[in-house]
Amino acid sequence: MLNMPEKIESDRIVLVRPFPATFELAKEIFEKVELSRNTLRDWLPWVDGTKTPEDEYTGWLVNWVQKHWKEGCGFAYIIRDKKTNTLLGAIDLMEYSESDKSALIGYWLSDDAVGHGYMTEAVRMVEKTAFELGLNRITITNDTKNTRSVNVPKRCGYHLDGVMRKDKWDKRWESFRDTNVWSKLKSEWLAEQKK
């Protein structure tokens, strides 16, 4: 069992488990999604299905976050600016496999938080915690055309394992899309710590 903490802090940001699930929090998250809808919907299929704060509350906070934390297979955090408490986005450690000691990181930032290195920092915080708790491998996937998302695993020293060609059908663009698969092993992370 991976016992991820409810809060992870750095000098600039704090990752907080969105619990308890409140409608006020759902409204706050929805406002950020709404602000960034045109950008996020190009890459994240759930955005078009999130049309109201109620969708955010029921779809993500209750049916994803609470369920997966309880089952121990997914750990979602909201990302906040430490000084202002402003919500910046979210990061998830999901698809956790106890037997394989592996998990997948997914993430998004609101448009007003992009370009400040927040997501690179958040990924490093989650990977540090997960590797210290016994994970052996972390994977990140992203659309090959999503330049901002592609830059995050590059900056964090992930290995590009390969490209899954035409593996996802995109209804909006009416085409198949390619997906990058990145990984980092605990041994690689440990070697980075010695530098």
HSE (CB half, 13 Å, CA atoms) of 169? 2
Separation CA 186–CA 135 (nearest Å): 7
The label of the residue with tokens 């402003």 reads 86
Give the per-residue pLDDT at 62: 92
- Each of the 195 residues of the chain gets a pLDDT tens digit; together they read 899 999 999 999 999 999 888 999 999 999 999 999 999 998 998 898 899 999 999 999 999 999 999 999 999 999 999 999 999 999 999 999 999 999 999 999 999 999 999 999 999 999 999 999 999 999 999 999 999 999 999 999 999 999 999 998 887 778 899 999 999 999 999 999 998
What does the pLDDT look like over 54-63, one tens digit per residue? 999 999 999 9
Give the per-residue pLDDT at 168: 86
Give the per-residue pLDDT at 82: 96
Separation CA 48–CA 36 (nearest Å): 12
CA 194 to chain centre: 26
| Single-letter amino acid, residue 3 | N
Separation CA 89–CA 160 (nearest Å): 24
Sign of the alpha-carbon torsion through 86, 89, 95, 99: negative
**What are the backbone angles phi and psi of residue 147, rounded to the nearest 5°?**
-55, -45
What does the pLDDT look like over 68-114, one tens digit per residue? 999 999 999 999 999 999 999 999 999 999 999 999 999 999 999 99
Give the per-residue pLDDT at 92: 97
Separation CA 115–CA 135 (nearest Å): 29
What residues does 93 pair with on adjacent strands?
A: 75, 105
Q: Which domains does the chain have, with CATH numbers?
A: 7-193 (3.40.630.30)
**Arithmetic mean of pLDDT over the chain:** 95
Structure tokens at 89: 């986005």
